């Protein structure tokens, strides 16, 4: 209700270009580059030709699949930065819509939605977990349960600047499920951006250990390696 009241008197500003009138304007939606085929069947990364191996099998072991809605560039990169670091929480709506559209295109079936957690100390500093906002909004759009319960046991350093092996080591064993019984349910695991998939895979390992069925990692954007 508060957001609706603010929107009424202060027109929203686009997270991609800054124009007034929409949270993510039609022009920025057109300039959002969706990932192009061919892509890796397991991790969803763009590859040079069909059936090409991107080398993800060695590093993605617990995720059933990893998919992203767009390339991490242009307006979506700017919108995600504003959403994550500048407190632009209403941007969860258009960003989760990108996720929902990609989910429909992929035809991915899931029974519930969960998300990558922040450590409590970092969540207190930021004020919110951007992945949780995206996950709850995606669950609402898709009519699926939103399951809270994945916790981060260590306040791991940011993954930015780390190579693949260091990313894996940084998040190994960093997550634990403390939510309801998962009962082999298939899950969509949401985050804002994927690079190597190490964080999502470490979360998936914790979910599988707690009894989850297939876990599909799903992010708004994907960094090109």
Residue 66 lies in a domain: yes
Can you tell me the distance from the alpha carbon of 149 to that of 178, in angstroms, rounded to the nearest whole number?
Answer: 5
Provide the domain limits for residue 90.
Answer: 11-222
Q: Is residue 200 part of a domain?
A: yes
Query: 39: pLDDT confidence band, cut at 50, 70 and 90?
Result: confident
pLDDT band at 99 (very low <50, low <70, confident <90, very high): very high
* pLDDT of res. 185: 96
89: domain CATH number?
Answer: 3.40.50
Contacts of 15 (CB under 8 A, 6+ apart): 23, 24, 28, 75, 78, 79, 82, 83, 88, 91, 94
- Do strands 175-177 and 150-152 pair parallel, antiparallel, or not at all (unpaired)? antiparallel
d(CA 191, CA 132): 8
Is 3 part of a structural domain of the chain?
no
Q: Does 5 reside within a domain?
A: no
Burial class (CB in 10 A: 0-12, 13-18, 19+), 29: middle
6 within domain boundaries: no
Q: pLDDT of 170-193, one tens digit each?
A: 667 789 999 999 999 999 999 999
Structure confidence by residue, pLDDT tens digits, 49-63:
766 667 788 788 999
Model confidence at 212: pLDDT above 90: yes
Whole-number pLDDT of residue 8 = 55
- Whether the CA torsion 63, 69, 71, 75 is positive or negative: it is negative
Number of domain units in the chain: 1
Q: In the predicted model, is pLDDT for residue 79 greater than 80?
A: yes
Most confident of 36-45, 51-60, 110-119: 110-119
Lowest mean pLDDT among 41-55, 97-111, 127-141, 194-208: 41-55
Q: Judge whether residue 7 has pLDDT over 60.
A: no
Asked, for residue 185, whether it belongs to a domain, the answer is: yes
Q: What is the pLDDT of residue 58?
A: 77
The answer to whether position 75 is within a domain reads: yes
Specify if 4 maps to a domain: no
């Amino acid at each position: 209700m508060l957001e609706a009241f603010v929107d009424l008197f202060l027109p929203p500003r686009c997270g991609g270009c800054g124009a007034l009138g929409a949270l993510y304007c039609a022009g920025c939606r057109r300039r959002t580059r969706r990932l192009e085929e061919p892509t890796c069947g397991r991790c969803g990364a763009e590859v040079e030709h069909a059936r090409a191996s991107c080398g993800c099998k060695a590093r993605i072991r617990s995720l059933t699949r990893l998919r992203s809605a767009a390339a991490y560039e242009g307006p979506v990169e700017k919108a995600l930065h504003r959403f994550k670091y500048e407190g632009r929480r209403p941007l969860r709506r258009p960003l989760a819509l990108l996720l929902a559209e990609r989910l429909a295109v992929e035809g991915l079936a899931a029974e519930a939605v969960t998300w990558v957690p922040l450590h409590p100390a970092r969540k207190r500093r930021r004020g919110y977990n951007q992945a949780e906002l995206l996950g709850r909004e995606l669950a609402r759009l898709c009519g699926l349960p939103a399951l809270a319960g994945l916790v981060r046991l260590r306040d791991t350093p940011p993954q930015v600047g780390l190579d693949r092996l260091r990313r894996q080591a940084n998040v190994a064993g960093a997550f634990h499920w403390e939510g309801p019984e998962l009962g082999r349910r298939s899950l969509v695991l949401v985050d804002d951006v994927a690079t190597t998939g190490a964080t999502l895979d470490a979360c998936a390992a914790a979910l599988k250990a707690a009894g989850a069925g297939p876990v599909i990692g799903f992010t708004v954007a994907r960094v090109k390696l």
